[in-house]
Amino acid sequence: MKKEKNIKSTHIDEHSVDNGNKVMTTNDGVPISDNNNTLKAGNRGPSLQQDHIYFDKLMHFDRERIPERVVHARGSAAHGIFETTADLSKYTTAKFLKKGTKTPVFTRFSTVAGFKGSTDLARDVRGFSVKFYTEEGNYDLVGNNIPVFFIQDAMNFPDLVHAVKPEPNNEMPQAASAHNTFWDFISLIPEAAHMTMWVMSDRAIPRSLRMMEGFGVHTFKFLNKEGKATFVKFHWKPRLGVHSVAWNEAQKISGFDADFHRRDLWEAIENDDYPQWDLGVQLVPEEDEMKFSFDLLDPTKIIPEELVPVKIIGTMTLNRNPENFFAETEQAAFDPGRLVPGIDVTDDPLLQGRIFSYMDTQNYRLGGPNFHELPINRPINGKHNNQKDGFARLDIPKGEVSYFPNSKAEGCPYHAMLKGETGFQSHQQKIEAHKVRERSDSFADHFTQARLFFDSQSPEEKEHIISALSFELSKVDDVDIRRRELAILHQIDSDLAKKVGNNLGLTPPKELDKLTLKFARQNHPDYPIKPKKPEIKKSEALSMKVKPGEGTISTRKVAFLVDDGVSKSSVDKMKKAIEREGAKAVLIASHVGTMKFKEGDTEEIDHSYLTDASVLYDAFYTPGGDSVKKLADNPDYIQFLNEGYRHCKAIAFAKDSEDLIQKTLINKDEGVILESNNNLTRDFINAMKSHRIWEREKPRKVPS
């Protein structure tokens, strides 16, 4: 998947510092002769107050940390390019969306609930934010890997975050929603039902950042040169498909490699396996705003793709890792209010609140109003205004003028319209309304799309949702909260509620709890309001299940389970086959260092059964050779296979190694490939293309 290298973001690169072959200096450029010892009165005497070199070093060290993000603290990022492939001039004047335009981007992925040092594999929403460095200024598409959100109005956002964060009395649990306060809050706001289904699905435990969708979440507007608006929803579609890990597997990955997603993204780019996403849009004419059974401005709703197909308009390729995590990934400031001409916001009340919140957050985190001067946040077309001073000012503005209008600077910088240029203009939307603190009744249907999502899942995906809800609610020790949430699940699907209830030893109430109704009626006095008839009952796009023959194994890591005496020809045959498909073979042996093949050749091994775990790999192959006898007596090898089988991964055996299956708990199925019964390489690759053999969970009752 090798692609062209990134368009260099010179506005960032010109600030890079290379210390190679340089004399060490203080922050003022003074050469340092000794960076190991403080200045003392004699070599055993006290340190001296006049040691300005020591103070220079320690004062910087004491101030190296900045406040982490309140949410989305745990993040990973990469540089890349976005190329527009469709003509959108009918809908928008945004220049970077002109067909053939290539735009530098910086993309940050994140978890939401955990602190900066938490695990990558928490069950959580994933942030998916892209900064486009366009010729008209920076445009930030700040989204998630789930297309809806828990709440409808930004007024509830602090409450949501307080509820999902560790409980304030004991600071537990970290990066988890399986606790009292989260489900107490969620069970009282039925508007969260749709998002809850997504978060309890496998979407919340992705296999890789490279294998998850991204969404703008909100409905935005495109504006064309006539000022006509078109509603738009943004979708990022990964070229590698949308895949997850099993829940049991995610818990173990957290122990073996808490940086699993971060490492996966970094290594893929370093290996020139550049991740790619196609950007798609759903376009709705302004005059069709009210044609659907749901409200376009409701952030807890999607537009099903069967109603409005996703039109692919371009491709993003991430092809360069950051040079410095703090300077780039940590200091990158995203803001849904960073708009360019041709794109505008809608009246979505959650989006409206985010526009203030993100700006305010960056001002606090990055030391004041000049955070846009940090290299990672600088626009490529520069900035020209009369704003001066403030904390952390990096630029040196020229001239005596810091106001507008002025004559001293000949009226500069001037308004774009004065020179016939296009500047940012908001949509001229006509508004006639009273000032109220109310919510539209068109936002009152909380269960139809939650039901649509659940009904659209495969049987295996439904079971995973049931297991996830059962796990989470079992961590809630307040039975009243459990019952309230079961009542909400009953509104979505009675069988779903019954199965979760059975796992909790509770009978789901058929009616919403009185307390839930009380809070719902604060937003809608006549709640529950009879919903409109939905246009569809199932949507294929909502399921992650791979259709036969449609998957890819590109960049997948296949563990070759070997030992001294393994047949090189048996290894090479499979290795060549999977590498042609873009996968990577990783040899794992009983020891690291030099391993001898049966044919006499040797190879240096970097991975062993003691240092690695099956959960870090996508599939397993046992070649033939004299190594088979050693593997038969190796319990760590047997553990690799049993766990890989439990997690529904493809497993293959060369003819010489097939008897090893008798040492394991493996039952033969379509994901267990034996050379004597199959076309070894072809059938193994096809099994991997299915991602997982989820049907394996049914007969063995293997927990996900």
- Reported as half-sphere exposure (CB side, CA atoms, 13 A), residue 87 has a value of 2
pLDDT category of residue 549 using cuts at 50, 70 and 90: confident
The residue with greater pLDDT, 683 or 703, is 683
The total number of structural domains in the chain stands at 2
Q: Which residue has the tokens 């537990």?
A: 172
**Which of 376, 409, 424 is the last residue before a domain boundary?**
424
Tokens of 65: 């940390």
pLDDT per residue over 148-202, tens digit each?
999 999 999 999 999 999 999 999 999 999 999 999 999 999 999 999 999 999 9
pLDDT at residue 9, rounded to an integer: 52
In this predicted model, what pLDDT tens digit does every residue of 110-130 receive, in sequence order? 999 999 999 999 999 999 999
Average pLDDT in the 590-615 region? 95
Q: Which of 424, 456, 472 is the last residue of a domain?
A: 424
The answer to whether residue 277 is domain-embedded is no
Distance (Å, rounded) from C-alpha 410 to C-alpha 419? Answer: 14
CB 249 within 8 A of CB 267: no
* Amino acid 1: pLDDT: 45
- Sign for the pseudo-dihedral over CA of 233, 236, 237, 243: negative
**CA angle at 31 for the pair 29 and 36, rounded to the nearest 5°:** 120
Angle separating helix axes 568-580 and 680-689, nearest 10 degrees: 40
The answer to whether residue 308 scores a pLDDT higher than 50 is yes
CATH number at residue 632: 3.40.50.880
pLDDT confidence of residue 408: 85
Strands (E), 411-494: none
- Quote the tokens at residue 201: 């699905």
* Pair of tokens at residue 574: 């499979």
Residue with the larger pLDDT of the pair 414 and 96: 96
Element (H, E) at 103: strand 102-111
- Where do we find the tokens 């998947």? 1
Higher pLDDT, 413 or 276: 276
Token readout for 645 is 């089988």
Confidence of residue 699 (pLDDT cuts 50, 70, 90): low
Q: Would you give the DSSP letter of residue 262?
A: H
Q: Quote the crossing angle between the two packed helices 247-256 and 459-474, to the nearest 10°.
A: 60
613-647 as b/e: b if 16+ CB within 10 A? bbbbbbbbbbbbbebbebbeebebbbebbebbbbb
The CA distance from 277 to 270, in Å, is 18
Q: Is the pLDDT of residue 418 over 80?
A: no
pLDDT for 704 equals 46
Strand 214-215 with 229-238, pairing: antiparallel
Last residue of a domain, one of 424, 448, 477: 424
Q: Quick check: 501 and 507 in contact, CB under 8 A?
A: yes
Side-chain half-sphere of 83: how many Cα atoms within 13 Å? 11
**Domain assignment of residue 416, given as a range:** 384-424
Tell how far CA 536 is from the center of its chain: 28
Rounded CA gap, 324 and 679, in Å?
47
Q: Which two tokens stand for residue 677?
A: 């019964």
**646 is a domain residue:** yes
Q: For residue 360, what pLDDT is reported?
A: 93
Q: Is 107 exposed, middle or buried (0-12, 13-18, 19+ CB in 10 A)?
A: buried
pLDDT at 5 over 70: no
127-139: average pLDDT: 97
In a domain, 18, yes or no: no
pTM recorded for the entire structure:
0.94
Give, for 83, the enclosing helix (H) or strand (E): strand 75-84
Per-residue pLDDT averaged across 470-476, rounded?
Answer: 97
- 672-696 burial, b if ≥16 CB within 10 A, otherwise e? bbbbeebebbebbbbbbbbbbbbeb
- Model confidence at 63: pLDDT above 50: yes
CA distance 641 to 589: 14
Residue 331 domain-assigned? no
Q: What is the CA radius of gyration of the chain?
A: 28
Closest CA to 669 of 657, 683, 681, 655: 683
Is there a contact between 196 and 450 (Cβ–Cβ < 8 Å)?
yes
With a pLDDT cut of 90, the percent of the chain lying above it is 85
Q: Which of 357, 436, 348 is nearest to 151 (CA)?
A: 348
CA–CA dist 458, 428 (Å, integer): 44
Among the listed residues 6, 79, 138, 144, the single catalytic one is 144
Give residue 222's pLDDT band: very low, low, confident or very high (50, 70, 90): very high
Greater pLDDT, 148 or 413: 148
72, 218, 446, 490: the catalytic one is 72
State how far the Cα of 325 lies from the Cα of 78, in Å rounded to an integer.
Answer: 10
> How far is 635 from 632, CA to CA, in rounded Å?
8
In-domain check, residue 209: no
pLDDT in tens, 421-431: 778 888 998 88
Residue burial 259-287, b: 16+ Cβ < 10 Å; e: rest:
ebbbebbeebbeeebbbbbbbbbbbbeee
Reading phi first (left if > 0) and then psi (alpha if -120 to 50, else beta), residue 272 is in left
Look at residue 581 and tell me if it is in a domain.
yes
Backbone angles phi, psi at 695, to 5 degrees: -60, -20
224 counts as catalytic: no
Residues 6+ apart with CB under 8 A from 293: 445, 448, 531, 532, 533, 534, 535
Cα–Cα distance between 500 and 24 in angstroms, integer?
63
- Is residue 6 over pLDDT 70? no
Helix, coil or strand: residue 388 = coil
What is the percent of the chain with per-residue pLDDT over 70, rounded to a whole number?
Answer: 97
Mean of the per-residue pLDDT values of the chain = 94
Nearest-angstrom CA–CA distance, 145 and 214 = 4
Which residue type is seen at 607? H
The backbone torsions φ and ψ at residue 36, rounded to the nearest 5 degrees and listed phi first, read: -110, -20
For residue 409, what pLDDT is reported?
A: 84
How far is it, in rounded angstroms, from Cα 621 to Cα 672? 10
pLDDT at 10 (0 to 100): 53
What's the mean pLDDT in 580-596?
Answer: 97
Tokens, residue 165: 């964060």
* CB-based contacts of 339, cutoff 8 Å, min separation 6: 139, 345, 424
Site of tokens 């909790």? 504
Examine the residue annotation and report whether 679 is marked as an active-site residue of this protein.
no
Q: Is residue 376 part of a domain?
A: no
Q: Is residue 374 part of a domain?
A: no
Are the CB atoms for 441 and 524 separated by under 8 Å? yes
CA–CA separation, 487 and 484 (whole Å): 5
